[in-house]
Structure 1
Amino acid sequence: MNCANQNGEVSETRNPDGTLRLRNPNIENLKEDILYHLALSTVSHDLVKMFGDVKFVCMGGTAKRMEHLAQYLQSEINYELPIGTSLCDLTEKSHRFAMYKVGPILCVNHGMGVPSIGILLHEITKLMYHAKVKNPIFFRIGTCGGIGLKEGTVIVAKSVVDEMGNTFHTQKICGKVVQRPAKLDQQLVKELTSLRKSDDTFNVVEGVTMCADDFYEGQGRTDGAFCDHTEEDKVNYLNELVKRGVTNIEMEATAFAALTHYAGIKAALINVALVNRLNGDQVTTPKETLLEWQNHPQILVGRYIKKVLRSETLV
């Protein structure tokens, strides 16, 4: 295992003005850096002009959900698009991810699973670097399976683990196993959870989010095309997770936490539970209700963004 130089502090990855320092000296030697999966380039596009004002990057699984999030946040911060323009997918030509910009906010989908979000995080981090963005904040907003939580509950992750309970992200690089600490900003966790209002129809909790490599067998489900474990095995596994403090399961957490921490980017992970896995594997809630629940995390993020923007206006 290679853990050398993986514990860099934020100060090592920021310039005095808040812009990022990439942990890759090779980028400086490139005549052109092509962000292939975003259909952007340092030569073909003026990235500073296009994205230099970004303060917040919101990520979620699907393209349509990110389009809806962009529309919601546009309304929340009362942002008016320039005359003659409309909200559009800025990475449409990539046919990979979809990205929308609303003033200082980027909303981009990351696909499903660690490999997909890992690709996006590399290129979004480079985009922040090339655009000279100062002190960006990243959010992953998504859905998950809860463990012992009421459906519709919002979980703000205070920590993340993998299926084995490890608090790091494991990656194979040049034939070696590399581990990077998966850490989230604890102040941001507290600030987000404090934004729940007494009249909200949903609950908000701090939790421990488990990242699985798979939706079916990797999460102990018994309803996939293949299953070599028993219902008893599943129940025992879920109860063991409860003992470890795990509150929910999804498929991107360790990569998101580890790569943002390694880049020195303040980040938070907010999920809504669509099912209580202790009661079953399949999501049986009506679609209309699921769509309502999916809005709950974005409400917290919207409140946080408005709070930050208001405070900056008053300075």
Structure 2
Amino acid sequence: MIKEQEEKRADSSETRDGTVKLRNPHIELFDQDILYHIALGSKSHDLVEMFGDVKFVCMGGTPKRMETSAHYIMEEIGYKIPTGTTLMDISQHSYRYSIYKVGPVISVSHGIGSSSIGVLLHEMIKLMYHAKAEDPIFFRIGTCGGLGLEPGTVVISDDAMNGLGNHYYSLPILGKVLKRPVKLDKKLVRELKALVAQDDPYDTTTGTTMCAEDFYEGQGRIDGAFCDYTEVEKQEYLKSLVTQGVKNIEMESVPFSALTHQAGIKAAIVCVTILNRLKGDQIAVPKEVITQYQQRLQILATRYIKKYLQTKDSSCLLKGSFAVESP
């Protein structure tokens, strides 16, 4: 089944013209495609006008984090919004996710866990399709638990696996389990790693990310409401992950990497560790310190965005005023 999914994706990608292609023939039969969870529609909104210039979709967990990210990106790329206007949550009436747009960059919250990001990915991929956006790049930026890494370490995922060690996204559909392969763009991983500065006051590494279905038991924590294993068993499990090249644990990498790959979209995952799971389970780092850690993700993603815009004819990509300073 995985091989069949891979062949279907590859065959479709060969004929791509830069715009996102859907693998759902039913969409074109609808009078309108309602993107319910982001409060947009293919007829109720001019999606080409609103999002046709999008080149980057940055996803993170919480609405506030992605609003902050949007403001940071706006400042770094020198994007100027018209006088008398301000950034607004485009999907504010959905009450589910928050979307902010800064020129060719979307900053959107995805919630927590596979189910939440899965819903958003379906609708963001369809949004890019209806908007006729060309070759958009998706980033997931978020926090994670590290394995043998000091808090504040940035991890660029070069692979992902679920809690059983499988490198695919399994989903029960019509009574059968469909398995979609997990793939991340290796070239994009190398390009991001190349943007790490020698004077960055923190470490940046690459490795496999484990995607858990749960925050507590699914990640081997012993501080949940239930726990049927010992500290020794937990440590043995975590150390076995390290031997498999796993650098961090979070809850969204498998569906993110599988669904973007299925859609033929280049994608990358960049996380920052907020604790070393080999030393404990509870997050005791002050909130202001975690906020500082999260800025490291924004810095790396924005370095890539700025480099991209500096090598393209940015005047045709953006609405509003725009300037990118030379590094």
SS at structure 2 position matched to 1:24:
coil
Corresponding residue of 1:217: 217
Q: Distance in 2 between matches of 1:201 and 1:305?
A: 21
Corresponding residue of 2:48: 48
CA shift for structure 1 position 168: 0.5
Q: Distance in 2 between matches of 1:288 and 1:42?
A: 40
> What does the per-residue CA deviation read over 1:88-117, in whole Å, with 9 as the maximum and x for residues that have no partner?
000000000000000000000000000000
Q: Distance in 1 between matches of 2:152 and 2:16?
A: 41
Gapped regions of structure 2 (runs ≥ 5): 316-327
| Native 8 Å contact 1:14 1:21 kept in 2 | no
Corresponding residue of 2:320: none
Corresponding residue of 1:124: 124
| 1:93-242 matched pairs, under 5 angstroms | 93-242=93-242
| Native 8 Å contact 2:2 2:181 kept in 1 | no
TM-score when scaled to structure 1? 0.97
Q: Distance in 2 between matches of 1:92 and 1:285?
A: 31
Corresponding residue of 1:306: 306
> What does the per-residue CA deviation read over 1:60-104, in whole Å, with 9 as the maximum and x for residues that have no partner?
000000000000000010001123321000000000000000000
SS at structure 2 position matched to 1:312:
coil
SS at structure 1 position matched to 2:271:
strand
CA-atom RMSD in angstroms: 1.4
2:279 partner amino acid: N
1:98 partner amino acid: S
Corresponding residue of 1:261: 261
Equivalenced residue count is 314
| Native 8 Å contact 1:53 1:104 kept in 2 | yes
Corresponding residue of 2:4: 5
Corresponding residue of 2:318: none
2:188 partner amino acid: L
CA shift for structure 1 position 15: 5.2
CA shift for structure 1 position 313: 3.1
2:2 partner amino acid: C
Gapped regions of structure 1 (runs ≥ 5): none
Q: Percent identity?
A: 55
| Native 8 Å contact 1:219 1:249 kept in 2 | yes
Corresponding residue of 2:324: none
1:213 partner amino acid: E
CA shift for structure 1 position 307: 0.1
Are 1:293 and 2:293 counterparts?
yes
Corresponding residue of 1:277: 277
Corresponding residue of 1:81: 81
CA shift for structure 1 position 292: 0.5
Q: Distance in 2 between matches of 1:76 and 1:21?
A: 31
Aligned pair in 2 of structure 1 residues 77, 314: CA closer, same or farther (>3 Å)? closer
Q: Distance in 1 between matches of 2:87 and 2:15?
A: 32
> What does the per-residue CA deviation read over 1:29-62, in whole Å, with 9 as the maximum and x for residues that have no partner?
0011000001001111000000000000000000
CA shift for structure 1 position 9: 4.0
| Native 8 Å contact 1:60 1:140 kept in 2 | yes
Greater mean deviation of Cα atoms: 83-92 or 254-263: 83-92
Q: Distance in 2 between matches of 1:176 and 1:16?
A: 30
1:305 partner amino acid: I
SS at structure 2 position matched to 1:206:
strand
Q: Distance in 2 between matches of 1:99 and 1:79?
A: 17
Q: Distance in 2 between matches of 1:215 and 1:234?
A: 14
2:92 partner amino acid: E
Are 1:65 and 2:65 counterparts?
yes
Q: Distance in 2 between matches of 1:95 and 1:10?
A: 36
2:136 partner amino acid: P
| Native 8 Å contact 1:13 1:23 kept in 2 | no
CA shift for structure 1 position 291: 1.0
| Native 8 Å contact 2:145 2:249 kept in 1 | yes
| Native 8 Å contact 1:13 1:20 kept in 2 | no
CA shift for structure 1 position 5: 3.0
SS at structure 2 position matched to 1:25:
coil
> What does the per-residue CA deviation read over 1:238-286, in whole Å, with 9 as the maximum and x for residues that have no partner?
0111111111000000000000000000000000000000011011122
